[in-house]
Amino acid sequence: MSDNSKTDLIREIRSLLKYHKSIGIDSYPRTKGLESFLEIKEQPPAPSPPPRKYTRPVQVKAAAETREKHIFDPSLAKKTTLTDVRQELGDCTRCGLHKSRANIVFGQGSEKAKLMIIGPAPSAEDDHGTAPFLGASGDLLTKMLAAIGLSREEVYLTSLVKCFPAGGQPPKEEEIRTCLPFLFRQIEIICPKVICVMGKQPAQTLLHSKESLFRLRGRFYDFNSFCSTELADKMLIIPTLHPAFLLDNEEMKKASWQDLQMIQKRLG
């Protein structure tokens, strides 16, 4: 390979890694392709881990201990609608992301949804289409939902922050913190049975964890470790892979399908 080709290849790999980081992926499954690319020598097989199964929800202890709980107010939730929250958000300039957005992408779907899906931030397509999960990854999400008997209209789709970050970068901690109260209000009003967080940032933020998405996914967690009152007790949270990651990593669709089946079982 010529020096120029090597430089191009390295540039492309860097750009792909940057994109994966932006959607919350910071580690990779060890596949045959990856092994041959990295020229990893054959190793004796490791003992297989015990199978993952549907378990009772897990209390994420760090959450309650280290961060302030959002106090859900059931009486307020009953009196408030998503339209009220959107009006309160207004033409928001509370954080720096207002400078890079064309539109606020508040959320889309049913106010009575049993399943709420939360991504990291609107994409450039979402920003112009004013709805979350558009484009190729949105199409894949629609198919994933159809596989468990749900339409986009039956669920509620939104993201941690409501404005497109410049260059599709992950939103900063400060920006997430500023926008989070509006996400809580949405959760409070919808009160879904299951909250599915897609990607590393939504998973780590809502679970108050620094664990990788690959370690967090595939199980339910109590949402009440994060929020108090009986409203939060009714909700479970499950982290899974973002459809944009699945588009480039087809071999991970099986893991994603397992998560979807757990959701389907829980929703009954």
The contact set with ligand SF4 (CB under 6 A) reads 89, 92-95, 97-98, 104, 161-163, 175, 178-179
CB of 80 to ligand SF4, least distance (A): 17
Q: Which is nearer to ligand SF4, 182 or 221 (CB)?
A: 182
Pair 115, 237: CB distance under 8 Å: no
Whole-number CA gyration radius for the chain:
19
Instruction: Quote the DSSP letter at residue 110.
Output: -
Q: Which tokens belong to 184? A: 């809580």
Q: Which is nearer to ligand SF4, 69 or 98 (CB)?
A: 98
Q: What is the DSSP string of 70-94?
A: EE--HHHHHH--HHHHHHHH-S--S
Q: Which is nearer to ligand SF4, 57 or 181 (CB)?
A: 181
Q: Is the dihedral of CA 121, 124, 125, 129 positive or negative?
A: positive
- Give burial (CB, 10 Å; 0-12/13-18/19+) of 180: middle
CB of 77 to ligand SF4, least distance (A): 20
Q: Which is nearer to ligand SF4, 132 or 218 (CB)?
A: 132
CB of 86 to ligand SF4, least distance (A): 10
CB of 67 to ligand SF4, least distance (A): 19
Q: Which is nearer to ligand SF4, 179 or 187 (CB)?
A: 179
CB of 54 to ligand SF4, least distance (A): 35
